[in-house]
């Protein structure tokens, strides 16, 4: 890629992503959706101003790693421990039900596929994309309703944290299947070995950072070494354990989240992400999505995909909440609150694409899911709270509200 082209592409991507992102926010849609649409507009679908070159692909790849590292940096082990059984059960079923329903949806459209075939991999990847809740929009909506600290609110936020971890575990296993020589057992073994490795290395890293935090608090070397750890863990995970690089990045974030300087690291990473790599990643999703590939079949599939993804969370989380003693209305609130999807769904889809387990035409479905869920959830939550206030759960053990909410 010519260096002039590079400057031109970067300028166009940054300015269009920011502009469309701001418009999206004005329309109460997620900013990410605006950035993707910017990519669609400047890409081959419409204006054809920017090509998805190897360089842009590489930058987007770094963007994905940084986003997952950032997500890990928000996952405090302390908060995880405090979550309690209820939120854990809500989260687990909130992952498993969409995973199964999504897999079945794909098979319903394209025919049954037995385990071990390529088609099965594609089907389960569709399920996998549906698993990751992105709770920030729900948190915003609950905050505006003044219900963030209620029992329903804390359950949702706690469940969303666990949801991330279970989602990553499921994704790691599913991506492990891409290698035809692997079976579920060997993938599970490698994944387990990686986590053992991560615990060991993580402990050492934690100790070293504790020393560094004391000797040189808030110095540049801390986020820089953090970044190097993120890249190293991503590399090691994929190279030596067959575990997805994004899992490695996420785990690197979780490890560093326990250190004293984790907020300082997160802030610096965040700047790197939102200034350049994040917009490039989201725009690159748009660049890869050629709307001219759209046909009636994909359109129907996308609508069914969105419906199943939303209903899957409502069933998975809502029914579990009901079984755990929530009232019917409050169970529905929990289910609806967990419906929102965001960046992670895209990251999973991108990973599926680059590992040959997903075609790029399904990006449209994922984009639709993010936009629709982000618009519908706050509206539904408001209606639900207006119709029925939250029941009284003073008898039940309140989960401790994590710092993240």
What does the alpha-carbon distance between residue 148 and residue 138 come to, in Å, rounded to a whole number? 9
Query: CB 130 → a second copy: shortest distance, Å?
Result: 25
| Contact assessment for residue 256 and residue 249, using Cβ atoms and an 8 Å cutoff | no
The reply to whether 275 sits near a second copy by the rule CB under 8 A is yes
| Nearest CB to a second copy, comparing residues 28 and 239 | 239
Pick left, alpha or beta for residue 172 (phi over 0 → left; psi -120 to 50 → alpha; otherwise beta).
alpha
Pick left, alpha or beta for residue 103 (phi over 0 → left; psi -120 to 50 → alpha; otherwise beta).
alpha
The reply to whether 224 sits near a second copy by the rule CB under 8 A is yes
Query: CB 355 → a second copy: shortest distance, Å?
Result: 10
Distance (Å) of CA 10 to CA 51, 280, 281: 11, 8, 12
| Nearest CB to a second copy, comparing residues 18 and 404 | 18
- Residue 319 backbone dihedrals phi, psi, to 5 degrees: -65, -40
The reply to whether 204 sits near a second copy by the rule CB under 8 A is no
**Where do we find the tokens 């509200």?**
401
Query: CB 247 → a second copy: shortest distance, Å?
Result: 13
**Who's near 12: CB < 8 A, 6+ residues apart?**
42, 49, 50
| Nearest CB to a second copy, comparing residues 280 and 308 | 280
Query: In angstroms, how far is CA 108 from the centroid of its own chain?
Result: 25
| Contact assessment for residue 386 and residue 145, using Cβ atoms and an 8 Å cutoff | no
The reply to whether 107 sits near a second copy by the rule CB under 8 A is no
Query: CB 286 → a second copy: shortest distance, Å?
Result: 17
Among 23, 55, 206, 388, binds a second copy (CB under 8 A): 55
Q: Which stretch binds a second copy (CB under 8 A): 5-13, 32-40, 99-107, 145-153?
A: 5-13
Query: CB 14 → a second copy: shortest distance, Å?
Result: 4
The reply to whether 109 sits near a second copy by the rule CB under 8 A is no
**Who's near 20: CB < 8 A, 6+ residues apart?**
34, 35, 37, 38, 41
Residues that bind a second copy (CB under 8 A): 1, 3-4, 6-8, 10-11, 14-15, 18, 22, 54-55, 58, 61-62, 65, 220-221, 223-225, 227-228, 231-232, 234-235, 238-239, 245, 268, 271-272, 274-276, 279, 354
């Amino acid at each position: 890629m010519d260096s002039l082209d590079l400057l031109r592409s970067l300028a166009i991507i940054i300015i269009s992503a920011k502009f469309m992102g701001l418009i999206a926010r004005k329309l109460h849609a997620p900013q990410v959706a605006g950035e993707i649409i910017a990519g669609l507009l400047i890409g081959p679908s419409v204006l054809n101003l920017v090509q998805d070159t190897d360089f842009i692909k590489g930058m987007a790849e770094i963007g994905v790693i940084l986003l997952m590292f950032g997500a890990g940096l928000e996952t405090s082990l302390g908060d995880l421990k405090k979550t309690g059984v209820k939120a854990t059960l809500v989260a687990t079923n909130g992952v498993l039900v969409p995973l199964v329903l999504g897999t079945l949806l794909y098979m319903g459209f394209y025919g049954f596929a037995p385990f071990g075939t390529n088609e099965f991999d594609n089907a389960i990847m569709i399920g996998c994309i549906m698993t990751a809740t992105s709770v920030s929009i729900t948190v915003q909506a609950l905050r505006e309703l003044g219900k963030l600290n209620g029992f329903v609110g804390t359950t949702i936020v706690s469940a969303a944290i666990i949801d991330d971890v279970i989602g990553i575990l499921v994704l790691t296993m599913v991506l492990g299947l891409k290698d035809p020589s692997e079976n579920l057992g060997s993938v599970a073994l490698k994944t387990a070995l990686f986590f053992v490795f991560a615990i060991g290395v993580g402990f050492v890293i934690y100790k070293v950072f504790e020393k560094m935090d004391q000797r040189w608090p808030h110095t540049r070397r801390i986020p820089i070494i953090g970044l190097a750890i993120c890249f190293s863990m991503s590399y090691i995970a994929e190279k030596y354990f067959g575990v997805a690089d994004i899992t490695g990045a996420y785990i690197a974030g979780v490890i560093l989240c326990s250190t004293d300087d984790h907020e300082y690291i997160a802030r610096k990473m965040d700047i790197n992400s939102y200034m350049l790599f994040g917009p490039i990643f989201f725009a690159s999703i748009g660049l890869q999505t050629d709307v001219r590939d759209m046909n009636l079949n994909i359109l129907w599939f996308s609508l069914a995909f969105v419906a199943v993804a939303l209903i899957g969370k409502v069933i998975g989380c809502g029914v579990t909440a009901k079984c755990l003693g929530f009232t019917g209305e409050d169970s529905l609130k929990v289910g609806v609150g967990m419906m929102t999807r965001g960046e992670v769904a895209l990251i999973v889809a991108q990973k599926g694409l680059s590992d040959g387990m997903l075609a790029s035409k399904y990006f449209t479905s994922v984009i639709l899911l993010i936009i629709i869920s982000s618009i519908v959830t706050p509206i539904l939550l408001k209606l639900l709270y207006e119709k029925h206030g939250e029941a009284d759960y003073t008898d039940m053990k309140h989960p401790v509200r994590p710092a993240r909410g």
